[in-house]
Chains A and B, each alone.
Chain A
Amino acid sequence: MARRVGLEVSLACAEAVKLANADVVAAYPITPQTHIVEHLAELVADGHLDAEFIPVESEHSAMSACIGSSAAGARTFTSSASQGLALMHEMLYIASSMRLPIVMAVANRSLSGPISIWNDHSDVMGERDTGWIQYFCENGQEVLDLTLTAFKIAEDPRVLLPVMVNMDGFILTHVIEPILMPEQAEVDAWLPPYVPQLCLDPAKPISMGMVGVPEVYTEAKRAQVQAINDSYPIILEHWASFAKQFGRSYQPVESYRTEDAEAVFVSMGSLSETIMSAVDEMRAAGQKVGVVRIRLWRPFPVAEFTKAVAKAETLVVIDRNLTFGAPAGPVATEVRALLFSQGIQKYVANFEAGLGGRDVTRDQFKEMLAKAQKAKAAGQDMTCEMVGVKE
């Protein structure tokens, strides 16, 4: 039976790695990820987790060591954030192209400069195109559950891709939440040890990371595109099997009070919880409004998202990061492109909010919706606006 415990979310993430019996953890400390790796180091030091903990000298080496460890056939975990994730950037492409099922928790934080240790999604957006499966957690239970499912998804022989589990730095990583902690035996039964398809084995020599001459590079990338596209139904399959085993169900897109909504917010990560409260208040005031939360960012759940926003005339897309010199933030750009490509006409307003740890309040979400509706009525374009800027 699962136990209900009060636990800091970072520790819940580390406990999930322990429940998964990871073989290797290679990590370098960076705020706000530190509590995750500190707790893992403790679990290894106390003999609660039988793993090699590699205290590397940089995040670049963290991901490099993870690539080596995963290529050796070991279940491998790391965690990072912000500048550290950016330092790994080069390695992330190689991990996915080599089809190594590494799991990484990212405690989302803004990027310098100016230096800021606080939350936004600038770090992960820089890694959008690295070929990793990427999803966002909203609360502590999700962090535990989705870190566990990350191993199951990544290591499925039909997938074999690295998975990035995003959780908002501080806002999520440093809060204590009630968490249902599954039994080890229950997890063991659901998540058996990793069996690699190919690995560095002197009994069966293979060459990994050869030169992709022009006659093969395109084909190699084509195979990788297929792999991440094909992972989509398998992600759903494993979330369903997790629900069956542990009783908590996850969907790539989650809708809240969207049934008759004329306008919906579109968001990712922990802001969604604030938006839901704001939606409740707006609903009480008679406004037909809802929220669509994108949990699975890569591969993007095109059909589910399109269905979730089908009835709304207005979308208010929240980007927790910037794209300099582009018409809108990355989430809004993506939403607009996918609606346009399907011939769907909607009013898509975009707000860049919650940068570098700036709080976004319920009232501000109400203002955003009011602004979007006013602009729509006036026939004005609302490409993108930064929220809460002091003029």
Chain B
Amino acid sequence: MISAAEAIKNYEKITPKNIPLAEPFSRGHRACQGCGEVLALRLVAKAVGQNLIAVSATGCMEIISSPYPQTAWNVPWIHVAFENAAAVASGVEAGRKALIRKGRIADAGAKIVAFAGDGGTADIGMQALSGALERGHDFTYVCLDNEAYMNTGIQRSSSTPFGASTTTSPSGSKSKGQMTWKKNMPMIAAAHNVPYVATASPAWHLDLMNKIRKAIATPGPAYVHIYSPCPTGWRCGPETSIETARLVVQTRIFPLYEVIDGKFVLTRDIKNPKPVEEYLKMQRRFRHLKPEDIEVIQKRVDADWERLLGFVKATNPEAAEKAE
């Protein structure tokens, strides 16, 4: 099998001039006003195009796209359950592989993409995902991370950031909200030594779509973790999704990077980061935080950024040097 670097060398790059017009994910879906997750989903589908076989985990995107008889999917789509999108995608991939080999269906280069939220990925679906990544199926897994169980009413997940108030990690006289640090899912995916891992934000829609293009061009498993603002669950205005998705990167809270054949590449270096407070104050889920709490978060973000730079330096010294 060729390396990811080799496979993506001549990938079909999307520029402002050639953004695909087709919408494999249809309008008329029932996502909340200003949903950043459905925007991310729309962009992923656009980047893949019509030759997509989509597998969804149970969650917001599944519910809002498929109340019978209205489906928002213009492409073949299957939803089975909450914790198994990666396992179902494994089966779809293996089934098609066998049928293509036996000459029973044509190989038209269809791309299998599994979608799940942060709960369906980092919590209940982590085992199935780990298995599918380890087995090396040729598919792309997209985690649409809105940092809590939004579909069931804003309960905390292991992807909820420290300090966020949710319905099961409420802030109170004895609690600052979520008391644990966000699970680093893209690093866990990278630890499986899969050929391609990336993080993306809908505030950089071309970058997001091109990472998807690279992911589907890569033979074997690819994992793309997309920060997906949820105005409903984060308690902010529906018009703020892009602004939030921009600030989270500019504060270095959610760095944009790729891991190509194990080599870390910083896709957006943030030379002069904005203070995390700017990001936190936009969202009412953080409004109970005191200056000393924000200080703790700032320190953690700084340390995590240094740690990421360390990975870049260790795995990709040339790129690290260029950045400096």
A residues at B contact (CB < 8 Å): 23-24, 26, 50-52, 54-58, 60-61, 64-74, 76, 90-91, 94, 98, 193, 200-213, 216
Q: Are B77 and A24 touching (Cβ within 8 A)?
A: no
> Which of A51, A57, A68, A206 contacts B80 (CB under 8 A)?
A68
Q: Are A200 and B78 touching (Cβ within 8 A)?
A: yes
Q: Are A210 and B71 touching (Cβ within 8 A)?
A: yes
> Which of A54, A94, A209 contacts B90 (CB under 8 A)?
A54
7 closest Cβ pairs, A-B complex: A68-B91, A57-B131, A72-B95, A74-B95, A65-B91, A69-B95, A64-B87
> Which of B94, B101, B128 contacts A57 (CB under 8 A)?
B128
Nearest chain A residue, comparing its CB with the CB of B110: A202
B residues at A contact (CB < 8 Å): 50-53, 55, 62-63, 66-69, 71, 73-81, 83-84, 87-99, 101-102, 104-105, 108, 110, 127-128, 130-131, 134-135
Known: A74-B98, A202-B52. A61 touches B69 (CB 8 A): no
Q: Are A72 and B99 touching (Cβ within 8 A)?
A: yes
Nearest chain B residue, comparing its CB with the CB of A76: B95
17 contacts between A and B (CB under 8 A): A24-B91, A56-B135, A61-B127, A64-B91, A67-B88, A68-B89, A68-B93, A70-B95, A71-B91, A71-B92, A76-B91, A91-B84, A200-B92, A207-B73, A208-B78, A210-B67, A212-B68
Q: Are B104 and A65 touching (Cβ within 8 A)?
A: no
A376-B131 Cα distance, complex, nearest whole Å? 57
User: Min CB distance, A151 to chain B, in Å?
Assistant: 15
A58-B50 Cα distance, complex, nearest whole Å? 32
Nearest chain B residue, comparing its CB with the CB of A66: B91
Q: Are B68 and A213 touching (Cβ within 8 A)?
A: yes
Q: Are B76 and A193 touching (Cβ within 8 A)?
A: no
Known: A23-B98, A91-B84, A200-B76. A211 touches B63 (CB 8 A): yes
B53 contacts across to A, CB distance below 8 A = 200, 202
A280-B81 Cα distance, complex, nearest whole Å? 51
B84 contacts across to A, CB distance below 8 A = 60-61, 64, 91
A204-B101 Cα distance, complex, nearest whole Å? 21
Known: A64-B87, A91-B84, A213-B67. A24 touches B110 (CB 8 A): no
Q: Are B68 and A24 touching (Cβ within 8 A)?
A: no
User: Min CB distance, B30 to chain A, in Å?
Assistant: 10
A71 contacts across to B, CB distance below 8 A = 78, 88, 91-92, 95
Nearest chain A residue, comparing its CB with the CB of B88: A68
Q: Are A205 and B73 touching (Cβ within 8 A)?
A: yes
> Which of B81, B88, B98 contacts A52 (CB under 8 A)?
B98
Known: A202-B53, A208-B78. A69 touches B73 (CB 8 A): no
| Residue of A54, A72, A205 with most chain B CB atoms under a 10 A cut-off | A72
Q: Are A56 and B90 touching (Cβ within 8 A)?
A: yes
> Which of A56, A73, A203, A212 contacts B99 (CB under 8 A)?
A73
A207 contacts across to B, CB distance below 8 A = 66, 71, 73, 76-78
Nearest chain A residue, comparing its CB with the CB of B97: A52
A209-B62 Cα distance, complex, nearest whole Å? 9
A23 contacts across to B, CB distance below 8 A = 95, 98-99, 102
> Which of A26, A66, A74, A201 contacts B76 (CB under 8 A)?
A201
Q: Are A211 and B104 touching (Cβ within 8 A)?
A: no
A379-B119 Cα distance, complex, nearest whole Å? 59
Q: Are A68 and B67 touching (Cβ within 8 A)?
A: no
| Residue of A57, A60, A207 with most chain B CB atoms under a 10 A cut-off | A207
Nearest chain B residue, comparing its CB with the CB of A200: B76
B67 contacts across to A, CB distance below 8 A = 210-211, 213
A211 contacts across to B, CB distance below 8 A = 62-63, 66-68
